[in-house]
Amino acid sequence: MSRTGALDRIDTLLGTVSSPTFDYVVRGEPFSISATPVVAFWLISRNIAFETLTDVSTTTDFLIRAYWRIQASQDMREDIELDVWNASVNIPSALRGDSTLNGNVADLSIGSATTGYTEIGGLAFRTLDVPLTIEIMGEVAIAP
C-alpha cells in the first residue's frame, strides 16, 4: 500500500469522469482556476483507526470539490445545474469502481455530496463537494 499510489489513483479516477468532462484535475485546493469545469481534491485529516502491537491502521479524509464558473446567462446556469447533478453521481461512481485504489488502500467510503458557491480571485464559482475517506490497514509499522 502506498500513499503516493493512492493519490495517483484518485487523480486518475477523477480524470475518467465523462459527464461532466473536467478540464483538469488539481491536487490541492486551487487558488486560481483558468477553465471550468475543474475538479480538485485535498487532504482534510488523518486519524488513527486502531493500533496493534505491530502496526497502526488509519483513516484519511479528503475533500473532492468540483468548480463551475458562474455565468450571467440563465441557460448556462441551467446547464451548470445539470453538470453539478451529474458530477454528484459520476464522481462517486468512478471512485467506487476501484474501492482499493489499485491495491493502495484497504477500502474507501464516500460521503454525501453537497453544493455551494465560492469566490476565487474575484470570480464566483458553483461548487460540488464530495467527502472521501480511505482506510489504510497497517500503514505504519511499530518496531519494538
Q: Which H or E run contains 4?
A: helix 3-15
Domain limits, the chain: 3-141
Residue 139 in this model has a pLDDT that exceeds 80? no
Q: What is the mean pLDDT of residues 45-64?
A: 86
CATH T-level fold of 3-141: Alpha-Beta Plaits (3.30.70)
| Pairwise CA distance, residues 19 & 93, whole Å | 11
Question: CA angle, corner 12, sides to 40 and 86, nearest 5?
Answer: 60
At 74-131, the pLDDT tens digits run: 767 788 999 999 999 999 999 999 999 999 999 999 999 999 999 999 999 999 999 9
C-alpha cell at 24: 483538469
Q: What is the mean pLDDT of residues 53-66?
A: 90
Phi/psi of residue 76, nearest 5 degrees: -65, -40
| Pairwise CA distance, residues 49 & 140, whole Å | 12
What's the length of the chain?
144
Q: Please report, as a single letter, which amino acid is at residue 70.
A: I
> Is the entire prediction scored with pTM above 0.85?
yes
- Largest alpha-carbon pair distance within the chain? 64
